[in-house]
Amino acid sequence: MGSDEDTGTIRLDLARLEGKLDVAITGQGAEIRDLRKDVDDHESRLRTEEQRPRVTPKHLYAGLSTAVLLLTGAAYLIKFFQ
């Protein structure tokens, strides 16, 4: 009889363990699906960001140089016509 009780206890413990594993695996599957949606969303957002025009340092320095040259020229013209 002791052996039957031990076998029943072992089977009960294994059933509980199997239930816990099923819950864990199901939870992981849901997290993986959520991550896949997030990654797909990142791809579309990254493509949008990559296509957006940017002000590069080259453009910034070119604009600043042009502004300085225009101000210098305007100052020279003001002095020249006074």
Domain definitions of the chain by residue range: 1-51, 55-82
Sequence letter at residue 41: D
**Longest CA–CA separation in the chain, Å:** 119
Q: Where are the alpha helices (DSSP H) in 1-82?
A: 2-51, 57-80
Global pTM value: 0.40
State the Cα angle at 62 between 61 and 68, rounded to 5°. Answer: 85
Mean pLDDT of 64-80: 94
Distance from C-alpha of 42 to C-alpha of 50, rounded to nearest angstrom: 12
pLDDT tens sequence across 40-66: 778 888 888 888 888 888 999 999 999
Q: What is the pLDDT of residue 75?
A: 94
